[in-house]
Amino acid sequence: MKRRDFIKTSVFATAGTMLIPQFLKAHQSGIAKDANGKILVVIQLSGGNDGLNTVIPYRNDIYYKERPQIAIEKQKILTLNDEIGLNPALESLRRLYDDGRVRILNNVGYPNPDRSHFRSMDIWQTASNADEYLSAGWLGRYLDASCSGCDIKPHHMLEIDDTLSLAMKGEKANGLAMLDPRKLYQQTRNGVAGSLAKTFKDHADEHNQVSYLYKTLADTESSADYLFEKGNLKGSQTEYPNTELGKGLKTIAGLITSGVDTQVYYVSLSGFDTHIGQRNQQDRLLKQYADAVGVFVEDMKKQGQLDRTMVLTFSEFGRRVKQNGSNGTDHGTANNVFLIGGPARSSVVYNEAPNLTDLDGGDLKYSLDFRDLYSSLLKDWLGADDEAILGKSFAGLKGIV
């Protein structure tokens, strides 16, 4: 059979009917250098979470004037200081704050912000300028920069999903997307993957693309074996919320406590595009987020893993200050970011509350560039060359990690 005909008739031509095509997202490089055993867990709140109803400037009358129906009542707010407090749905996060495990960053964004979900998410995931288009993500480039002449281990960066985010795609190496180790293992044991790998191997000398496909399948199958066998040794026994995020964080916790050689994990929670009836929808999602993260952090603490585990939570943009006519909010710009975990110390609100008297056409002005945060995470947490990965020098955020 000719190579072209084989590919047309194989499962690689039927994306969506089997998960084998997702294996092409496995990374084809090796494991990164040791970063002192530290782990980064990224949680993406997809849809543009309303930061003003998450970290609330409850002493600011403008907040209540511009949001007569959707503002959080003062008596319900979980106060953090004399100016701001948390949405009451974030009670579990408040407990972590009291335990010294939370850093809150306000007004995080970038110059010339884009209000498109897709474009702004691309900017956050690639760490590009607003007018710059990159095909590799910031974490993928971290993997590129970290691995030189190292062993192939496709599980080094894992996304708990069936597709891979741009953030996890590098120029030479990508992360691996999977829902859980058992399913990945079963999918590579159905006979199809082995048959395809053998076919590609038999033709590997004929075409570079065939060699690439064979290597990808072989690496993924090897990684599936490793994650299943290693991950089964000591999975998390803690009870997690029965939600999508809860299940994802339980999978991550089990892999961390099992000692797998993974340094970056990525998981998403969607539904934050709250143009209509925001209060019920956002409060429900924030509670799902906080409850899942609360259990995850306590699990990591109990297992002695929290000091080396950092959780970054971000959304592609915030919402406009003024509510709309449907008791919701429309796409905005700057937003808040959470950093949770790491060694115990005093929790902090890192910078000033949003300035509601100085807006940009009704939107918040950013005061922290998200790439300064990335710079600190890369350099101070993961031990990487942040300037080489981000393509330019950023000042970073002193003491944030």
Residue found by looking up tokens 């495990």 in the block: 101
The pLDDT value recorded for residue 298 is 97
The pLDDT value recorded for residue 144 is 87
Please calculate the CA angle 376-256-141 and round it to the nearest 5 degrees: 40
Please calculate the CA angle 166-175-301 and round it to the nearest 5 degrees: 105
Whether residue 284 is contained in a domain is answered as yes
* Model confidence pLDDT, tens digit, residues 327-370: 999 999 999 999 999 999 999 999 999 999 999 999 999 999 99
Number of domains in the chain: 1
Per-residue pLDDT of the chain (401 residues; tens, 9 = 90+): 344 443 333 333 333 323 433 433 333 333 444 457 899 999 999 999 999 999 999 999 999 999 999 999 999 999 999 999 999 999 999 999 999 999 999 999 999 999 999 999 999 999 999 999 999 999 999 988 876 655 546 678 999 999 999 999 998 888 889 887 777 666 667 665 556 555 655 555 555 565 655 556 666 666 666 777 776 656 678 999 999 999 999 999 999 998 888 999 999 999 999 999 999 999 999 999 999 999 999 999 999 999 999 999 999 999 999 999 999 999 999 999 999 999 999 999 999 999 999 999 999 999 999 999 999 999 999 999 999 999 999 999 999 99
Q: What's the CA gap between 306 and 101, in Å, rounded?
A: 9
The pLDDT value recorded for residue 214 is 58
Kindly give, in sequence order, each residue whose CB lies less than 8 Å from that of residue 45, ignoring residues fewer than 6 positions away. 268, 269, 272, 285, 289, 313, 314, 315
Whether residue 198 is contained in a domain is answered as no
Whether residue 303 is contained in a domain is answered as yes
Whether residue 323 is contained in a domain is answered as yes
CATH code where residue 318 lies? 3.40.720
Q: Find the Cα–Cα–Cα–Cα dihedral 167, 168, 173, 178, rounded to 10°.
A: -160
Q: What is the domain extent for residue 167?
A: 3-182+222-390
Q: What's the CA gap between 93 and 73, in Å, rounded?
A: 19
Kindly give, in sequence order, each residue whose CB lies less than 8 Å from that of residue 316, ignoring residues fewer than 6 positions away. 46, 47, 48, 117, 120, 121, 123, 124
Whether residue 371 is contained in a domain is answered as yes
Whether residue 356 is contained in a domain is answered as yes
The pLDDT value recorded for residue 223 is 66
Whether residue 340 is contained in a domain is answered as yes
Whether residue 207 is contained in a domain is answered as no
Three-state DSSP class for 99?
coil
* Model confidence pLDDT, tens digit, residues 196-233: 555 655 555 555 565 655 556 666 666 666 777 776 65
